[in-house]
Amino acid sequence: MAKIIDGKAVSAKVKEQVRREAEVLKQQSIEIGLAVVIVGNNSASRVYVNNKKKACEEVGFNSYEYALPEETTEAELLELVEKLNNDDKVNGILVQLPLPKQINENAIINAIRPEKDVDAFHPENVGHIMIGDFSFLPCTPAGVMELIAETGVDVCGKNCVVIGRSNIVGKPMAMLLLHKNGTVTICHSRTKNLAEICSNADILVAAVGKAGFVTPDMVKEGAVVIDVGMNRNAEGKLCGDVDYAACFDKAGYITPVPGGVGPMTIAMLMRNTLTAAKIKNNITE
């Protein structure tokens, strides 16, 4: 029977550590600020933005929200990003994705200064992650690594399988596991013998965006199963990419949805913003 990896508990630990460090900086008259930009009225995006604001309050950061109308042009958004790039009160800039169709997401990501790119999506930061010389890590993969560490399972030498190859989760996730000396396979929609490959994984990370995609035949006995998915099932209930109930007895460790990876993503965003403030103020410890 699996042990549940409690993302809420682990994220609370990370946020408490960030809060303590932010308090020390505040005593040195260093305030930390995160600017969050939301364009349009996507309800899921609004929930995420509200959660980020709440997390800022918890750790003692200043939170600056910029809510722009759906019809905002790319030029207008670029102008705002440039203003935030030059604002000394802002240590981190996060533009909530997805953006309306008239705006090129890559153009916006590339416009954020790498040292304020707390999502770690800018090509310069992605390159640093590739070579293992990074200041920031993408929040979700970094959160997954914290959850794996919480189990006490050492990644070194383990068979690690990542299902999904997105720039936001799949690819950086594979790199982080590789940096910890895991033997990594990335699976995707064109992968042959998917179930067989997954069933040999000591650590299985599912990030495909399909409800209940991972079934027990894809899970090795005693494996660490991390579910990055956030979907709605036929009844409209929140669920992950893993058939949680069916895989529970086979896995050694498993993350629930909700309450697994989700809280970690925001906790790691707080950590990245703290790191950005330290870099700006030449604090190296």
User: Which are the catalytic amino acids?
Assistant: 52, 96, 119
Write the secondary structure of 15-63 as one string of H (helix), E (strand) and C (coil). HHHHHHHHHHHHHCCCCCEEEEEEECCCHHHHHHHHHHHHHHHHHCCEE
Query: Amino acid identity of 277?
Result: A
Rounded to whole angstroms, the Cα distance separating 274 from 266 reads 13
Rounded to whole angstroms, the Cα distance separating 120 from 138 reads 5
Token pair for 18: 């960030």
Rounded to whole angstroms, the Cα distance separating 7 from 34 reads 23
Q: Which DSSP letter does residue 96 get? A: P
Say which residue the tokens 């304020």 belong to.
116
24 by Cβ neighbours in 10 Å (0-12 / 13-18 / 19+) ranks as exposed
First to last CA, the chain: 41
Report how far apart, in Å, the C-alpha atoms of 11 and of each of 7, 142, 261, 284 are.
6, 12, 9, 24
Task: Return the half-sphere exposure (C-beta side, CA atoms, 13 A cut-off) of residue 32.
Answer: 31
Report how far apart, in Å, the C-alpha atoms of 126 and of each of 27, 68, 190, 196, 197 are.
33, 27, 24, 31, 27
Q: Find, among 55, 61, 208, 205, the residue nearest to 142 by Cα.
A: 205
